[in-house]
Amino acid sequence: SKRFEGKTVLITGASSGIGRSTAFEFARSCPKNLKLVLTARRIDSLKQVASEINKEVGDGVRVLPVQLDVSKADEVRNFVGQLPDEFKEVDVLVNNAGLVKGVAKAPEIAEEDVDVMFATNVTGLINMTQAILPSMLKRNNGDGSGDIINIGSIAGREPYIGGSIYCATKAAVRSFTESLRKELIAKRIRVIAIDPGQVETEFSLVRFGGNKSKADAVYAGCEPLTPDDIAETIVFAAGRRENVVIADTLIFPNHQAAATIMHRKS
């Protein structure tokens, strides 16, 4: 979209899955004069994504891979100050980094799993938003510049057994997103919620500590969404004219009707 020309888009969790696809989708949508700041913990994967993007769309997209663990408040605090000047003014923030650990029920959930899910999905997202907002607000004179796109989940709308903490983190994202939209209304900053259903990424692999057969079983008999499907939705929302806010979305694959209602082909 021409609407992204000259803009800077920052994506958290861009080393894999939805974040990675979103980076490609922005680049394809605006191959001339776009800046992408890609962050995650795995810097080598980010560098790989950056080089693949430039190979596909050319050098009109400038990609900056930056190692950042959103669960570390001090890293997030120092992050913007350390960006090169030409990448400092972020126009679109995609708060995508997130994870789930395990399927334990509440009495058995390990304390460190609780901590890492909240620190990443909730506090990390809030801290990133606080880090980026000041420069958005400084440039903004109520004319609709600046988008904050938060990746929630069906899990934030519909808590399920074995997901109490993850679901609570995504409900927190949903609640924070809605408050933020109200708080920023006079600034015309668009606050956008993207809530995917089942998407096949590294999500389940992370959930099951790298156990591929357990991860694959999640998608048995189903045709999950691809990360590109969600990336297209994110870039569509960001690409609307400034007076249009795709405030709230819920995206399912065809076989899914609720968090745990999947029609499986045997």
φ/ψ of residue 172, rounded to 5: -65, -40
Neighbours of 252 (CB within 10 A): 18
For 37, 110, 181, 190, 255, the CA distances from 2, given in Å and listed in that order, are 19, 47, 25, 18, 35
Place of tokens 């190979």: 55
Q: Given the rule CB under 6 A, which of 68-76, 126-134, 151-159, 219-227 is the region that contacts ligand 8X3?
A: 151-159
- The 3-state DSSP class for residue 178 equals helix
* Active-site choice (101, 105, 166, 212): 166
Q: Which does 163 bind (CB under 5 to 8 A by kind): ligand 8X3, ligand NDP, none?
A: ligand 8X3
Q: Where are the beta strands (DSSP E) in 41-145?
A: 61-67, 92-95
Under the binding rule (CB under 6 A), the answer on residue 157 touching ligand NDP is no
What x-and-dash track marks residues 69-88 binding ligand NDP by CB under 6 A?
xxx-----------------
Under the binding rule (CB under 6 A), the answer on residue 155 touching ligand 8X3 is yes
**For ligand NDP, which residue of 15, 29, 129, 233 counts as binding (CB under 6 A)?**
15
Site for ligand NDP in 114-143 (CB under 6 A): 120
Q: Which of 71, 62, 60 shows the shortest CA–CA distance to 95? A: 71
Closer of 145 and 208 to ligand NDP (Cβ)? 208
CB of 40 closer than 8 Å to CB of 18: no
* Active-site choice (47, 88, 170, 182): 170
User: Could you confirm whether 219 is annotated as catalytic?
Assistant: no
What x-and-dash track marks residues 161-190 binding ligand NDP by CB under 6 A?
------------------------------
User: Could you confirm whether 7 is annotated as catalytic?
Assistant: no
State the chain's maximal CA–CA distance in angstroms: 56
Which residues in 152-175 are b (16+ Cβ under 10 Å) and which e?
Answer: bbbbbebeeebbebbbbbbbbbbe
What x-and-dash track marks residues 246-265 binding ligand NDP by CB under 6 A?
--------------------
Q: Which residues bind ligand NDP (CB under 6 A)?
A: 12-19, 40-42, 45, 68-71, 96-99, 120, 151, 153, 196, 198-199, 201-203, 206, 227
Q: Which residues are catalytic?
A: 166, 170
